[in-house]
A and B are shown apart, each in its own frame.
Chain A
Amino acid sequence: MKKTVKKPVIAVGPFHPLQEEMEFFQLTVDGEKVTDIDVRISYNHRGIERISESLQFDQIPFLVSRICGICSASHPLAYVQAVEDIAGAKPPERALYERTIINELERIHSHLLWGGLGGHIIGYDTVFMWAWKYREPVLDLLEEITGNRNNYGNVKVGGCREDIPNEIIPRILKELDKIEKKTEMLTNAVLDDPVLHARLKGVGVLTREDAIKYAVTGPTARGSGVAIDVRRDDPYAAYGDLDWSVITQTEGDVFAKAVVRLLETFESIKMVRQALKKLPDGPVTMEVKEIPPGEGIGHAEAPRGETFHYVRSDGGNRPTRHKVRAPSYVNVPSFKASCIGGDLADVTLTLAAVDPCYSCTERLAAVDRESKVIHDYEALLQMSRDKTARIKKELGVPGIKMEDLQIG
């Protein structure tokens, strides 16, 4: 057996006081500097895709809203868009606007939540208390519209379950004014604070090149100067009719990501206000009689990035395959680029800066029960390659190399 020099390894997780969820990071350190990071997840894998295949199309929105409690409007929205894609259904205008309103309210509460947790992680609990205090009225609005503070369960295939009563619109607008004022105060305080500048600037930098290389999405990408946003690039619901802008920052550090999130909150407030003013009259739901055989995709911009759902139907009342790709799935590997070389004390902050959501991400658990071996990503990749090679050999298909393909 080869003898190797053991490097000091620091474990973060599975239960860490700064993390809401179970995840495990193995940090290899040299003094105070982080030299390597290994991520081990799937503590939170619940087998949602499999459960989904045993439920009917109309029941699944309730399941997918429980993929993640914070993105509980984006996941069902992406799912119903995928099913509507198969059925060729076009929901009524009012439903599209309502979906927009609920999604943007969700974004406001999620970004304020992140702002608070970010403050908590660096030990600045004043920011935490403020941000979460200002987030409460948003939850009250959501409760008034949908009946629940989180897990709204409001979208369904072909529309929305509940209507926004016209009488409460003036009250929502008034409340939004208050929320905007408070968020403005918070944002100015954060941008003004020399302590936060000193603590957050230049920490956990994800360069533009790395952002593109790791294919990150959402505020993580926009904080690194990559202007991608599903709402603008492929408008769904009513985003095409609204006037708003994509916020980007070029620095790629934690401060830039915080600024992106805080400024996006204002864009969201603007969008909700426009959507409420433009809200067309009419029904909020249409009947979708049957789902024909076929496959469909739906995506939505969740607070953390692009959420993607794929649904395949065989003409029955249950999907035969349902695939979910959540934004944190691509954002989490970018830790390799942003943590290595940084200080140990900055790691938890850098990890939190992409607003990772493990309950969203964990679609896969690979456990070999006999030998108790847990396969890592490399091993799985190798296994998949081996299997492809075996199938190729069995079928007698010649291998194609990249160089052989004529491009252009």
Chain B
Amino acid sequence: MNWKIWSLKKSPWVFHVNTGACNNCDIEIVNLLTPKFDVERFGIKLVGSPRHADALLVTGVVTRQAAPRLKEVYRQTPKPCVVFAMGACACDTGIFNAGYHVVGPVDKIIKEVDPNAIIAYVPGCPPKPEAMISGVVKALSAL
């Protein structure tokens, strides 16, 4: 195993990117840090800068204004970086598919920057916190 991947799997630090979500996935992500789920005991921590992040938690449909910012945030992360598309919107734009201001989904935009990006999908509207934990565990153990 590549040592970079090996080190990525321990205590992943995550940066949360909202690209036009309804706040629902976002509050469920913050919920993960609070006493009921408390993912910090596994070393998973929300950080304030993409430069410190091992993984991006991306929510939302990626609006026209958000797309260049999302690309920039992805460029700033140290590689390898796992991108988690959280929720139905991030996975395939969901109910907002017909919107004129929607350029997503997330994987399309990320692949424009890095065609070999590692992308994991957690569907649901919003995914339950348990589903998010399960998604992160599955993605990291598949690396």
Contacts and interface: CB of A to CB of B under 8 A. Distances in A.
Contact of A51 (B23, B36, B63, B98): B98
Contacts, number: 124
B18 A69 contact: no
Given A17-B48, A51-B98, A63-B95, A46 B63 contact: yes
A46 B20 contact: yes
B100 A66 contact: no
A359 B98 CA distance: 17
Interface string B16-29: 11111111111110
A14 B24 CA distance: 19
A252 to B, nearest CB: 26
Contacts of B120: none
A50 B23 contact: no
Interface in B95-117: 95-96, 98-102
B14 interface: no
Contact of A14 (B31, B34, B69): B69
Given A46-B96, A46-B99, A46-B101, A66 B22 contact: yes
Contacts of B137: none
Contact of A47 (B23, B66, B102): B102
Contact of B24 (A133, A151, A365): A151
Given A66-B125, A113-B27, A132-B31, A47 B100 contact: yes
22 contacts: A15-B69, A20-B23, A21-B26, A22-B18, A44-B18, A44-B66, A46-B20, A46-B99, A46-B101, A47-B96, A47-B102, A51-B96, A51-B98, A66-B24, A66-B125, A69-B21, A69-B23, A69-B25, A136-B36, A149-B28, A151-B126, A359-B23
The 4 closest A-B pairs by CB, nearest first: A69-B24, A17-B48, A132-B34, A47-B99
Nearest to A120: B30
Contacts of B102: 46-47
Contacts of B22: 66-69, 72, 151, 359
Nearest to A117: B30
Contacts of B98: 51, 54
Contacts of A48: 96, 99
Contacts of A150: 24, 27-28, 126
A236 interface: no
A66 B102 CA distance: 15
B51 interface: no
Given A70-B23, A132-B30, A132-B35, 7 more contacts: A20-B26, A45-B20, A45-B63, A46-B101, A69-B27, A128-B34, A136-B34
Which DSSP category, helix, strand, loop or mixed, fits chain A's interface? loop
Given A46-B99, A132-B31, A149 B26 contact: no
A116 B30 CA distance: 11
Interface in A4-18: 14-15, 17
Contacts of B133: none
A383 B51 CA distance: 41
A68 to B, nearest CB: 6
B23 to A, nearest CB: 4
Interface of A: 14-15, 17, 20-22, 42-48, 50-51, 54, 62-63, 66-70, 72, 113, 116, 128-129, 132-133, 136, 149-151, 357, 359, 365, 367
B73 interface: yes
Given A50-B99, A62-B95, A365 B65 contact: yes
Contact of B126 (A44, A47, A69, A359): A69
A149 B126 contact: yes
B10 to A, nearest CB: 23
Given A43-B66, A62-B95, A151-B24, A20 B35 contact: no
B45 interface: no
Contacts of B34: 116, 128-129, 132-133, 136
Contacts of B101: 45-47, 365
Contacts of A133: 34-36
A47 B104 CA distance: 14
A46 B28 contact: no
Contacts of A46: 20, 61, 63, 96, 99, 101-102
